[in-house]
A and B are shown apart, each in its own frame.
Chain A
Amino acid sequence: MKRTLAILLANPLSLLGVVLVSVVILSAVFADFIAPFPEHSGAVVDFANFNKPPEWPYIFGTDLVGRDMFSRILYAYRISLILGIVVLAIAVPIGVTIGLVAGYLGGWTEYLLMRLTDVFLSVPPLVLAMSIMGVLQPTLANGMLAVTAMWWPWYTRLVYNITRGEKEEGYVLAAEVIGASKAHIIFREILPNCVPAIITKMTLDMGFVILIASSLSFLGLGVQPPTPDLGSMVADGAKYLPDSWWLTIFPGLAILIAVFGFNLIGDALRDILGAEQ
């Protein structure tokens, strides 16, 4: 663990990733203290200062009802990170368990579970989330549900592939010979061997969940106003291009920075932990 961190900080690219992610996390956590206009995260209007280009004290400009873009972006990061954490906290255990069970037990269990996984993988991710959001009310909780529903199969695939390989390894056979229970073998013997790959994928996915969630809200199917959200900010601002460019460019770059940061770390972790799919 210490060694991993040391290598992460030694490489300029992964160091950049650590810096970017730290900035994103700190902005989200301390938004209340950093944001010059914390009240602008809600339904505030200030028509005296609407649609202002970047200028002090509005370093990223103001939106069409006069709210500070910078403050809203900080709060949007908070929503994005919560969404990412919740989605992964639900999707990963589900996906991993199904993958382990299908991979280890084999037979009909394997066939049914993997075909079920295929079903979820056979709808383009965004379309699946869209249709779920479409029939449900667009709230943050439902957004998490929709993204979770499209996310778990990827972990099933990943863990399933590893499990099928590990199943034939000597240590698993040895555990079988001494009569260890299936649950023991699956969770105590095989699972630890999947952990590096899972951690790597989770790091990359923190970025991609943010990306997909912002895509949903960009289409109007995600978090609803007045809650600040990077995707809907871009969507709202896109109508006023090119004149009010700050309405789209700053939230757009905010997405890019967060996802890029997580990707840089994930890439480095993949190299360090040697966890390739």
Chain B
Amino acid sequence: MIPLARLLAKRLATSLIVLIGVSMLIFAIARIIPGDPARIALGPNATAEQIADLRAALHLNDHIVVQYGHFVADVARGDLGVSLYTNRPVTADIALYLPATLELVLVAGLMMVGIGLPLGIWSARWRGRAADNMIRLVSLLGVSAPSFVWAVILMLLFAFYLPLFPIAGRISDSYAISSVTGFLLIDTLLQGDVRAFGNAAWHIVLPAFALALSGIGQAARLTRANMVETYDKPYIEMAQSYGFPARRIANHYAFRPSLIPSLTIIGLDFAAMLGNAFLVEAIFAWPGLSRYGVAVILRKDLNAIVGTVLIISATFLLVNIIVDLLIALLNPRIRYSQRPA
């Protein structure tokens, strides 16, 4: 397992460099804002003295490089500053809203993998047949609309016309759940309240599915494309000539080598859901990072914008590292070679 450790170290180092780059990018974006952040923060009634004080406190009079230095030092201490919108530390705000978003994204990610990959396998196994054409068309439709459109359609169909699922929220008001992890699906179980868990699960189905739909389509398309290519490989012909069962060839011999090239993109899609979650949260009134993120952006709340983007990017990078490790685990060539490719 030494190569794996080396791979992990290398990926972490690259990710750190990229994260520093991201912080510079976000910092630069935040500083090209027209107008004086101190004036915006204090509102129209502030005195010149108050503004000067805040400018000094925010280091706004220093050179941009010095400002960036202060910013990095603060971030390293886990201090993302105070939100000018809520007047609370940005970290506290994010800690409050992030779990709901992560929960939504994780469930959607499970749906993407759990539904998208089998659809792709099916499609590839029956390539050229009716089932294949059906799946290809549906998955193309899936990627062809933004998640908020799917959210609206699903809500109309399965919450209003067929009232199978709730219209909004994470859990019904009648359940009092004390927050431990912030993940309701976990907290309810920690309290041993199975009915509350069921209620939370019932609430998450539609928003997660709306968020997952384009990912499901993408995963199915990618898996199919890679598997169709794999089906032309000599080792598949060998498996067929030995009469291995068609289902085992599909699920095992053709799927596994095809999964490796698909995973990187599936990982990227999964991470992109962190952004798309904003769209679904708005429709289903999901109390996640979305409302906060959009609110702080509309109010030009610099600290909060920078903090939110930084946290999301870090999560994004983390997902990519995990995906890379997963690929290394699945690909024996990487796992057993001395130098990671």
Residues of A within 8 A of B (CB): 13, 115-116, 118-128, 130-137, 207, 211-212, 214-215, 218-221, 231, 234-235, 238, 241-242, 245, 248-249, 252-253, 255-256, 259-260, 263-264, 267, 276
User: Measured between C-beta atoms, what is the minimum distance from B198 to chain A in Å?
Assistant: 25
- Contact B153 A241, beta carbon cutoff 8 Å: no
Given A131-B305, A241-B156, A263-B140, residue A124 in contact with residue B148 (CB < 8 A): no
> Quick one: given A125-B272, A135-B33, A256-B145, are A219 and B152 in contact (CB under 8 Å)?
no
Closest to B290 in A: A219
Cβ of B131 under 8 Å from chain A: no
CB neighbours (8 Å) of A249 from chain B are 152-153, 156
Is the Cβ of B149 less than 8 Å from the Cβ of A263?
A: no
- B residues sitting closer than 8 Å to A (CB atoms) are 14, 17-19, 21-22, 24-26, 29-30, 32-34, 137, 140-141, 143-146, 148-149, 152-153, 155-156, 160-161, 225, 268, 271-272, 274-276, 278-279, 282-283, 293-294, 296-298, 300, 305, 308-309, 312-313, 316-317, 320
Please give, as numbers and ranges, the residues of chain B lying within 8 Å of A116 by CB-CB distance: 21
Please state if A219 and B282 are interface contacts (CB–CB under 8 Å): yes
Bound form: Cα–Cα A276–B156 in Å: 38
Could you tell me the distance between the alpha carbons of A243 and B253 in the complex, rounded to whole angstroms? 51
- A128 CA / B274 CA spacing, docked (Å): 12
Query: Given A252-B145, A259-B144, A131 and B29 touching (CB < 8 A)?
Result: yes
Q: Is the CB of B140 within 8 A of A133?
A: no
Identify which of B18, B141, B296 gathers the most chain A CB atoms within 10 Å of its CB.
Answer: B18
**Distance to closest chain A CB from B265 (angstroms):** 9
Chain B residues within an 8 Å CB radius of A130: 275, 278, 293-294, 297
Q: With A133-B297, A255-B145, A260-B141 as known contacts, state yes or no: A122 contacts B152, CB within 8 Å.
A: no
Partner of B275, one of A125, A207, A248: A125
A127 contacts B152, CB within 8 Å? Answer: no
Q: How many A-B residue pairs have CB under 8 A?
A: 154
Task: Given contact pairs A123-B312, A242-B160, enumerate 15 new A-B contacts (beta carbons under 8 Å).
Answer: A13-B137, A119-B22, A122-B21, A122-B320, A124-B276, A124-B316, A126-B275, A131-B29, A134-B296, A135-B33, A215-B146, A215-B279, A245-B156, A255-B146, A260-B140
Cα-based distance from A219 to B146 in the complex (angstroms): 12
Chain A residues with CB under 8 Å of B22's CB are: 119, 122-123
A116-B21, A219-B282 given; A127·B274 CB < 8 A: yes
- The smallest beta-carbon distance between B260 and chain A, in angstroms, is 15
- Chain B residues with CB under 8 A of A231: 146, 148
The residues of B that contact A235 with a CB separation of less than 8 Å are 148, 282
Q: Do B140 and A211 touch (CB < 8 A)? A: no
**Residues from chain A with Cβ under 8 Å of B316 in the complex:** 122-124
Q: When the two chains form their complex, are residues B275 and A267 in contact, meaning their CB atoms are under 8 A apart?
A: no
A68 to B90, CA, bound (A): 43
Contact A264 B25 (CB under 8 A): no
Q: Which residues of the partner chain A approach B271 to less than 8 Å between Cβ atoms? A: 124
Per the bound structure, the CA–CA distance linking A134 and B155 in Å amounts to: 29
Contacts of B146 in A (CB 8 A): 211-212, 214-215, 218, 231, 255
Given A260-B140, A264-B140, is A211 in contact with B25 using a C-beta cutoff of 8 Å? no
Q: Once the chains are docked, how many angstroms separate the CA of A233 from the CA of B17?
A: 40
Question: In this complex, what residue of B is CB-closest to A261?
Answer: B144
CB A217 to nearest CB in B, in angstroms, measures 11
Which 6 A/B pairs are nearest by Cβ-Cβ distance? A134-B297, A124-B275, A126-B275, A119-B21, A242-B160, A260-B144
Task: Decide: A124 and B21 in contact? CB cutoff 8 A.
Answer: no
Question: What B residues does A136 contact at CB under 8 A?
Answer: 33-34
Across the interface, which residues of A come within 8 angstroms of B24, CB to CB? 119
Complex contact A127–B312 (CB within 8 A): yes
Contacts A13-B137, A241-B160 given: A218-B17 contact, CB under 8 Å?
Answer: no
Contacts of A219 in B (CB 8 A): 278-279, 282, 294
Q: Taking the nearest CB of chain B, how far is it from the CB of A69, in angstroms?
A: 15
- Among A13, A131, A252, A263, find the residue whose CB has the most chain B CB atoms closer than 10 A: A131
The answer to whether B152 touches A234, judged by C-beta atoms less than 8 angstroms apart, is yes
List B contacts of A119 (CB < 8 A): 18, 21-22, 24-25
Q: In the bound complex, do residue B148 and residue A215 qualify as a contact, i.e. CB atoms below 8 Å apart?
A: yes
B14 → A minimal CB distance (Å): 8
The answer to whether B279 and A135 have CB atoms under 8 Å apart is no
Q: Across the interface, do B144 and A256 meet the contact criterion of CB distance under 8 Å?
A: yes
Q: Using Cβ atoms and an 8 Å threshold, which residues of chain B touch A214?
A: 146
Query: In the complex, what residues of A have CB within 8 A of residue B275's CB?
Result: 124-127, 130
Contact yes or no, A124 B294, CB < 8 A: no
